[in-house]
Amino acid sequence: MRFAPELKSFALCDSLHMPHVKKRYAVRAGVVTDQESYTPDIDSRFDMRIAGVNHFTWMLKAEFDGENVMPKIAESIREQAATEDTGGDVGAKAIFNNAIAHQLYEAFGYVPVCVSHTKEYVSFYQGHGVLEEIVPPLKIWETEARYDRHEAMWNQVDDFVTRKVPIGQFMEVMGPDHATDIIENMVGNLGQPFYVNSPNRGAVTNMSDDAFLELLCDVDMNGPVPRPVGEMPRGIRGMQEVVLDTHELTAEAVAKCDYGLLRRAMLTDPLVNSIADADAILKELLEHEKEVLPECWR
């Protein structure tokens, strides 16, 4: 199978699957009572636009029959936030996500979509404030639990590779996958849109065409074509550009094997608030990774 050169310039994101995300927010907006009630007619009347750096995405528009339903979505999130510390998943990735989503909505006027990661992009939940906050500081991820989870994943892959588990059971065990859904759509020319990471190409009108963003795209064998979004609001756009600068500087540092650029990338990151700490982190990281790094980094 041969793919167009354009396909080398996009990547999958694991946060948004187009049909599912619209259904979920349609329920929050009160457009439908449940996801099973969501129809193609409802879909055509629900104009929802999401964009941003990977996992730092925001709902920039949500209109049903021309009515702005984003306040209703935000209110649903606020109501759910009232009970999210009374049970359920309280791990670092999930805890207080609704409270954070509503607080960011109140601050910026738009709903963050991938809150479990968006909260890691902003500096408000790092515990550096003087006064007590409504939302407590982020928890450190449960590292050992994630190591165990990843080991189980690799063991599952090995079981399929070694035929310990027949490949015929793959779909039964794993179910549909975002990547395979996109491949099926491309090869079958099914015409379904997907959220993927792609060069902006004018979708967000006030950001550069080469900004690498998570966008709703039509994807076929010729590559992704982002659907129009409109402008990225001020404030949110500034945060997006800082993250993009961090990415660009990191990539340039790697390409040029330039420690000065790597240090600049680290200091550009919105979560870094100490030059001394940044230098110490980079020194320790390069020391631990020296055996697998190119000679120029040693």
What are the extents of the domains in the chain?
1-138+174-230, 236-297
Digit-coded pLDDT (tens) for 206-260: 999 999 999 999 999 999 999 999 999 999 999 999 999 999 999 999 999 999 9
Bridge partner residues of 57 (DSSP): 52
Identify the architecture of domain 1-138+174-230 in CATH. Alpha-Beta Complex (3.90)
Mean pLDDT of 105-131: 94
pLDDT at 4: 43
The per-residue pLDDT for 72 is 98
Share above pLDDT 70 across residues of the chain, in percent, rounded to a whole number? 92
Buried-state track 44-63, b at ≥16 Cβ within 10 A, e below 16: eebebbbbbbbbbbbbbebe
Confidence of residue 13 (pLDDT cuts 50, 70, 90): low
Q: By the 8 A CB rule, do 97 and 119 touch?
A: yes
**Whether residue 297 has pLDDT greater than 60:** yes
pTM of the model: 0.86
Percent of the chain with pLDDT over 90: 73
Residues 6+ apart with CB under 8 A from 107: none
The number of beta carbons lying within 10 Å of the beta carbon of residue 216 is 23
